[in-house]
Structure 1
Amino acid sequence: MRTLVEHRPPRRATPERMQRYARTALVIGLALLGLWIIHDFLGALVWAAILTVALWPVFERACRWWPAGRRIVWPALFTSLAGLVIIVPLVLIAVQVGRESRDAFAFLHDLESNGIPVPDWVGRLPVGAKAVADWWTLNLATTFDTNDVLRRFSHGSLFSVTREYGAKFAHRLVTFVFTLFTLFFLFRAGDHVKLQLLEASQRVFGPKGETLARQMVASIHGTVDGLVLVGIGEGAAMGVAYLFTGVPHPVLLGAVTAVAAMIPFGAAAAFGGAGIYLLIQGAPGLGILVVAIGLAVVGIADHLVRPAVIGGATQLPFLWVLLGILGGVETFGLFGLFLGPAVMSALILLWRELVGPRAEPVSPA
């Protein structure tokens, strides 16, 4: 039996298809080239976008109250306020560090001469007082050679360290200024950018693209409220606790606690350090009280308030919010605080659409 094999002529690419392939390759190539050109400023663009999304509801309310200031006044005011919120705490911390430098050098000198003496409360321990006192005397009550640390910083190494950190500071300053410029222009053209992004998402991803984009924006709003606002509340509560327990500089330490509380479980380092300070100063009861108040505040904020705020805005279980925050910080640094939950929210939305109820029952076969 003879088998007849039909030979089909190879399909030739039409000019329209060739042009489409060439246009796609050109777009991808130009996009990659553009990202490579501005890669040093991608961080500034991302931060500007995050701040714009976070502040946009308040900005829109202000524009409805006074529409004439939408082009210049309100963008300039909101950009200035965002810059001051970042600059003022850094300046206050730098001034406070400069004021405390003399006390820090005095503490180092006393540490070099006497070490950390055994506190009185160690002798009043009901169990293990002698063992704790012996350990403290062996490890903490001895003298420290702080001059050996200072000798390591020779003139050459000090110059190189200053030059390295000076270059990094200059780069951070330029990035910060560029972030503010970008933020100003995003506020001015926010309506047009929003419409263009929604139109692009609809053309590329269809009707689900707009839903996905709105879900990611809502997750950023919820994350900002849940991390920043709740963190400020934790810092304020702990600042009052620091004030009444005698911790030095309660306002400054409360601000540090607020910043640390924006990262889950980060506030424990702040109030834990305050508790250790009171313990060393001979006030173990106050130290335990500060730690207990801190655990209560963090427990309420992280297990009740924060899940309700973030989960209510994103319709996302707090476990996935927590994984998005921690994984985002591990992968992207501070950007991950906001990008991580946004990505997880989009993935959960896609998963719910994939496994959602069907219009018709599925056949057992």
Structure 2
Amino acid sequence: MMPAAPPHVRPEQEGGPRRARLLMGLGLALLGLWTLHGFLPALAWGGILAIATWPLYRRTRQRWPRHGHDILWPALFTAAIALLVLLPLGLMAIQAGREAGSLLAWLQQAERSGLPVPAWIATLPFGAAQASAWWQETLADPGGAGELLARLNGPEVLSLGRQLGADLLHRAVLFGFAILTLFFLFRDGDRLAAQLLHLARRSFGPSGERVARQMVASVHGTVDGLVLVGLGEGALLGIAYAVAGVPHPTLLGALTALAAMIPFGAPLVFGAAALVLLAQGAATAAAAIFGFGMVVVFVADHAVRPALIGGATRLPFLLVLLGILGGVETWGLLGLFLGPAIMAALVLLWEEWTAAH
């Protein structure tokens, strides 16, 4: 007896189950994102660090291959990246601890005898008399200085300190999860990348894979344009700080490098260094530091950085700048890397959709 032939399914009847699977998948994806929303920044930072260091990791693993579970290179690279982040922070914390004693002694002296008017106020090009009078009435008088310091030691400052401590603890936890994510991405990165490219091709066709590759390339370009250029600016200005006699030039150079990763951030640091020199009476050195810093920032922001980021992302300078600033405003520090990647994907889609066929 011949088996019955399967019923013929018409194409319009297949659409219902396909739409149901699509809706179910979308719903589960949104539910998963909502469940993990508190850890998404850690996952994103782990992904950005993995993408930025993947070429070096891949070359190292190919040069000295491992067999079996292959956890040696993922563990070593993860530990090295964690140390690159933690060591500068530890040095800054040690330096801050050393300065805390001097700051406390300075505050106690100011409360007992007030603060004399510094000599550099008299050299101000305008407002010197008003500033000197305000200082004499407020800070030079022990009563006025004590009243001002009492305001600084009020409940608002204590509340701010508790909030800062809670925020630091939260960021430390996120950093721990980012490092853990980085280890697993190093270990399983090849398989995960292949799965993501397959998903992009299956969902959006060839353009989906091109967009994914362009976003990865934009992260590489942004890391080179922001991190490496920022480190270069910090090194140059750190040398300038040491030559000009700015206190703690190494620490200020590290702060300059961190600030230089954000557009228009470095002038805040070398401007403060110039003010410190001006307060010490070294007006020429202060002007030299500020002028040299502006030259370094101008060259970096208008020549080196757009070439590195724009060359990798194929974006004009205006879109690079808008992507970085808009990304920082929307996503925080993650936006430094997400903003240009999103703009690069949009530009690629725009070029494909508007191309003449």
* TM-score of the superposed pair, with normalisation by structure 2: 0.88
CA distance in 2, matches of 1:274, 1:140: 21
Aligned to 2:149: 147
Q: Conserved in 2, the CA contact under 8 Å of 1:118 and 1:136? A: no
* Alpha-carbon distance, 1:164 to partner: 4.6
* Alpha-carbon distance, 1:146 to partner: 3.7
CA distance in 2, matches of 1:346, 1:310: 14
Question: SS at 1:265's partner residue?
Answer: coil
Aligned to 2:106: 107
Q: Which runs of 5+ in 1 are unaligned?
A: 1-11, 360-365
Aligned to 1:52: 50
* Counterpart code for 2:34: W
* Counterpart code for 2:122: V
* Alpha-carbon distance, 1:162 to partner: 6.1
* Alpha-carbon distance, 1:228 to partner: 0.2
Change (3 A) 1:275 1:352: same
Q: Conserved in 1, the CA contact under 8 Å of 2:120 and 2:279? A: no
Q: CA RMSD for the aligned pairs?
A: 2.3
* Alpha-carbon distance, 1:138 to partner: 2.1
* Alpha-carbon distance, 1:294 to partner: 0.4
CA distance in 2, matches of 1:260, 1:43: 20
CA distance in 2, matches of 1:273, 1:167: 28
Q: Which runs of 5+ in 2 are unaligned?
A: 1-9, 140-144
CA distance in 2, matches of 1:24, 1:164: 43
CA distance in 1, matches of 2:268, 2:116: 22
The answer to whether the aligner puts 1:303 opposite 2:302 as a matched pair is: yes
Q: Conserved in 1, the CA contact under 8 Å of 2:120 and 2:280? A: no
Counting aligned pairs with the same residue, the percent is 52
Q: After superposition, where does 1:1-365 map in structure 2 within 5 Å?
A: 16-68=14-66, 71-112=70-111, 113-115=113-115, 117-119=117-119, 122=122, 132-142=127-137, 143=139, 144=145, 145-153=147-155, 158=158, 164-356=163-355, 358-359=356-357
Q: Which stretch of structure 1 is more off in the superposition, 33-42 or 270-279? A: 33-42
Change (3 A) 1:111 1:308: farther
Change (3 A) 1:259 1:120: closer
CA distance in 1, matches of 2:354, 2:55: 33
Aligned to 1:4: none
CA distance in 1, matches of 2:33, 2:117: 58
* Counterpart code for 1:97: A
Question: SS at 1:140's partner residue?
Answer: helix
* Counterpart code for 2:19: Y
CA distance in 2, matches of 1:224, 1:92: 23
Number of aligned residue pairs: give it: 339
* Alpha-carbon distance, 1:114 to partner: 3.8
* Alpha-carbon distance, 1:98 to partner: 0.5
* Alpha-carbon distance, 1:161 to partner: 5.8
Question: SS at 1:264's partner residue?
Answer: coil
* Counterpart code for 1:139: W
Give CA-to-partner distance per residue, 1:19-73, whole Å, 9 cap, x none.
2232222212211211111111111111111111111111111011111178211
* Alpha-carbon distance, 1:205 to partner: 0.8
Q: Conserved in 1, the CA contact under 8 Å of 2:120 and 2:278? A: no
Change (3 A) 1:120 1:336: closer
Change (3 A) 1:275 1:141: farther
* Alpha-carbon distance, 1:216 to partner: 0.7
CA distance in 1, matches of 2:286, 2:161: 38
* Counterpart code for 1:44: A
* Alpha-carbon distance, 1:246 to partner: 0.7
Give CA-to-partner distance per residue, 1:265-297, whole Å, 9 cap, x none.
100000000011111111111111110110011
* Alpha-carbon distance, 1:147 to partner: 3.3
CA distance in 2, matches of 1:120, 1:51: 46
CA distance in 1, matches of 2:228, 2:136: 42
